[in-house]
Amino acid sequence: MNVEKHLRLTHAGAMKIIDAAVKKAVAMGKPQCIAVVDDGGNLLAFTRMDGAKTLSIESAIRKAATAASSRGPTGGIVGDLEFRLAHATSGRLVNLKGGLPVIVDNVTIGGIGVGSQTGEEDLEAAKAGLAAIEGARSFD
């Protein structure tokens, strides 16, 4: 087959993810940086909540891109593979919790990355954002 149909995460969908993640972060009392990327790791939407760490801007974007590229949650690489992947990608891929792919109908259409708190708190906000997209695979 030379051509196939392609699902695409829209800006409206990215904003739904951001809004739901922000709502969760507010409920937790944990300000976050939240990034949503398309399937190629290109930024679609971003916010830095009041009080979120400025250095987490970059890590949130990289978590989202890593999740989209790897088609899986971030933060699960063990051993020296973490360093080798970071080196091979000039630091673009990260092994920090808080990144999830956006998968609909078994197709990865993007990623969400959340950063500024503990890895578990980042992941909790990311899961809430992902839940805003109907039919998106959940990661429990």
Say if 5 falls within a structural domain.
no
| Residue numbers of the domain that contains 34 | 11-130
Do the Cβ atoms of 125 and 93 come closer than 8 Å? no
Say if 140 falls within a structural domain.
no
Say if 6 falls within a structural domain.
no
Say if 101 falls within a structural domain.
yes
- 5/103: higher pLDDT: 103
Going by the DSSP 8-state scheme, the letter that residue 3 receives in this structure is -
How many residues are listed for the chain in this entry?
140
Say if 138 falls within a structural domain.
no
CA distances from 92 to 60, 69, 84 (A): 11, 11, 12
Q: Is the pLDDT of residue 86 over 90?
A: no
Say if 82 falls within a structural domain.
yes
User: Per the structure, how many domains does the chain have?
Assistant: 1
pLDDT for the residue numbered 92: 85
pLDDT per position as a tens digit, 69-79: 999 999 998 87
The mean-pLDDT minimum among 29-33, 85-89, 102-106, 129-133 falls in 85-89
Say if 2 falls within a structural domain.
no
pLDDT for the residue numbered 78: 84
Q: Is the pLDDT of residue 80 over 90?
A: no
CATH of the domain at 45: 3.30.450.150
Say if 106 falls within a structural domain.
yes
Count Cα neighbours of 132 within 13 Å in the Cβ-side half-sphere: 20
Which of 43, 48, 35, 31 lies closest to 117 in space, CA to CA? 31
The span from the CA of 113 to the CA of 116, in Å, is 10
